[in-house]
Structure 1
Amino acid sequence: MTPHIGQRISAQYADLSAQEQRVASFILDHFDDLAVYSAADLARLTGVSKSTVSRLFKRLGFENFQSVKRHARQLRSLGMPLVTDANTASGNGERFKRHMAREQDNLQRVLSRIEPATFEIIVEAMDRAQRLLLVGFRNSYPLAMHCRQQLVQIRGDVVLAPQPNQSLAEELAGLAEDDLVVVFGFRRRPKLFDALMDTLTEMPVRVLLIGDATAAGYAVQADWWLECPLDSISAFDSYASAMSLVSLLANGLLHQRLVQGRARIDSVSELYSSLDELSP
């Protein structure tokens, strides 16, 4: 990806005029809110002329302020926490309503895209797999970790990777056709993600890929692809639909192997008590 506007400002800051530096500094200080300002807002808030604002953006490689706003929205779609909707600052009551509506829409979208027959096949594969390897990086890691915490109560041989401060190769070594890898590939993935998917493609193992729309290009490298929207009303992504999908998969697996699952849950609960690990 080409340098974003903050990087462009940092690279050229010393060569900007004093007035351009005022605007540039304001942008850097309010980077998260960039998309909700107008050129007139920037001129007024920094005490410069609109022509100075326009001149700055052209020096930074943008045709006009509309291209800056498109650039900011592109950054947001790639996962950078930027505010892109001025209505976000509305009162709490309205904010809560809009948040609820967006969450409900995300959940509706993820569930409507899952074919029931495909879901049953995935659950059966999770049940029959000799080993379940759950992989997640950055924001995907907590999802993989939570998924593992749910599944390990139902069946054994559920592994989370990469472990803290550990490499990934050891966990991939020895994967066989009886194993299943669940890859969480939500946006702002590390470069290693490409190599991971290429490597899994060359292995006999089956792959379930779960991610947002930016991971759709990797779907051809997986046996199954489940898409979860992350849309929110403000800067930070919402993973509520992804967490709901994890719950759905865990419950599906439990009902797939109800007798064994309940027996393992009981065994885990007894160990909680004997180890005195959990408070009442």
Structure 2
Amino acid sequence: MKHTARRSFLARVRAALPTLHPAERRLGEFLCDFPGELASYDAQELAQLAQVSKATVSRFVRRLDYSNYEEARRHAREEQQTGSRLFMPSAKSPQAANALGDHLQQGKDNIDQTFSTLTLDDIDAVAHSMLAARKTWIIGFRASRPLADYLRWQLMQVIEHVVSLPGSGETLGEYLARIEPHDCVLLFGLRRRVSHNRPLLDFLRKTQATLIYITDEGAETVKGVHRHFRCHTAAGGPLFNHVSVMALCHLLAMRTIELSDTQGRDRLRQIETANDILDEL
């Protein structure tokens, strides 16, 4: 039995991504987003969906240590039968009568799967890093941007020097040049990840700042980061479900406030005093 036999299909894909050729990598990234497609289509149909050749599909499954496409497809089907929503075909939509319940259940499932691999020590380590940092930087693009802004807004209650970037009309370089080893950086890398996500990670590692990487469950393992939080974002329709990401942001902010001690409480009092003076609720 091959050493990969006990690994899940998605784990095999993630592990292989850094070694794949461009066309194979495109197929691998497609399957990280929609692994259920392999269970649902034959090799020719999958090749058309991922915009690669059938030969690329054949090479890809062999790189995952499957003897052929049907073996890989059978493995994906087995995982689909466990009830994992991640392996449901992307084209399948819930029936109208069950839509509300299905969407709510999907959000609950995503939260359960995300936090099943996290501990309070993981959360507290990030909170302490942000509290001790000279400056905290939060970076997000596309769907990640409003989540980065939300986390910054909450952290401002107890952390004075926290910035979300890039700002409108500004370049990353204007900020990246100012990141120092005593800083903390939280990078959101939710799909669809921007093309410069990888070089950005490389640059941030070189700054020697504390680096926290927040992604979806399909992201490959990244070396050189202090914490990598994978949030499950499976959904029954065309939009990713970010409930678990918001839950993680909320918990990070709450624990940072709770661990901020006297300095944090003093800042909270100052904020409330300013709000009273300005008659703001």
TM-score (ref. length: structure 2): 0.67
- Deviation at 1:179? 0.6
1:250 maps onto 2:256 in alignment:
no
Q: What is aligned with 2:104?
A: 100
Pick the aligned partner of 2:92 from 80, 86, 95: 86
- Deviation at 1:67? 5.6
Counterpart secondary structure, 1:214: coil
Q: What is aligned with 2:169?
A: 165
1:69–1:259 distance in 2 versus 1, CA, 3 Å:
same
Q: Contact 2:92–2:236 (CA<8 Å) still a contact in 1?
A: no
User: Per residue, is there more helix in 1 or in 2?
Assistant: 1
Measured in 2, the distance between the counterparts of 1:112 and 1:199 equals 31
- Deviation at 1:63? 6.2
- Deviation at 1:100? 1.3
- Deviation at 1:221? 3.2
Which amino acid in 1 is paired with 2:96? G
Q: Contact 1:140–1:184 (CA<8 Å) still a contact in 2?
A: yes
Greater Rg by CA: 1
- Deviation at 1:69? 6.5
Q: Contact 1:197–1:221 (CA<8 Å) still a contact in 2?
A: no
1:95–1:204 distance in 2 versus 1, CA, 3 Å:
same
- Total equivalences in the alignment: 210
Which amino acid in 1 is paired with 2:267? R
- Deviation at 1:86? 3.2
| 1:91-240 mapped onto 2 (5 Å cutoff) | 91-92=96-97, 94-217=98-221, 219-240=222-243
Superposed CA RMSD in Å reads 2.7
Q: Deviations over 1:99-127 (max 9, x none)?
A: 11111110011111113322222221111
Counterpart secondary structure, 2:185: strand
1:212–1:124 distance in 2 versus 1, CA, 3 Å:
same
The runs of at least 4 aligned residues of structure 1 exceeding 6 Å deviation read none
Q: Contact 1:154–1:264 (CA<8 Å) still a contact in 2?
A: yes
Counterpart secondary structure, 1:138: coil
- Deviation at 1:216? 2.8
Which amino acid in 2 is paired with 1:182? L
Which amino acid in 2 is paired with 1:230? T
Which amino acid in 1 is paired with 2:140? G
Q: What is aligned with 1:80?
A: none
Q: Percent of aligned positions with the same letter in both sequences? A: 24
- Deviation at 1:260? 2.3
Which amino acid in 2 is paired with 1:86? K
TM-score (ref. length: structure 1): 0.67
Q: What is aligned with 2:67?
A: none
- Deviation at 1:262? 2.6
1:273–1:86 distance in 2 versus 1, CA, 3 Å:
same
Q: Deviations over 1:132-158 (max 9, x none)?
A: 000011111111100000001111100
Which blocks of at least 5 consecutive residues in structure 2 are unaligned? Answer: 1-21, 27-36, 52-88
Q: Contact 1:178–1:205 (CA<8 Å) still a contact in 2?
A: yes
- Deviation at 1:66? 6.4
| 1:16-31 mapped onto 2 (5 Å cutoff) | none
1:86–1:213 distance in 2 versus 1, CA, 3 Å:
closer
Which blocks of at least 5 consecutive residues in structure 1 are unaligned? Answer: 5-34, 40-61, 72-82
Measured in 2, the distance between the counterparts of 1:145 and 1:182 equals 12
Measured in 2, the distance between the counterparts of 1:200 and 1:181 equals 8
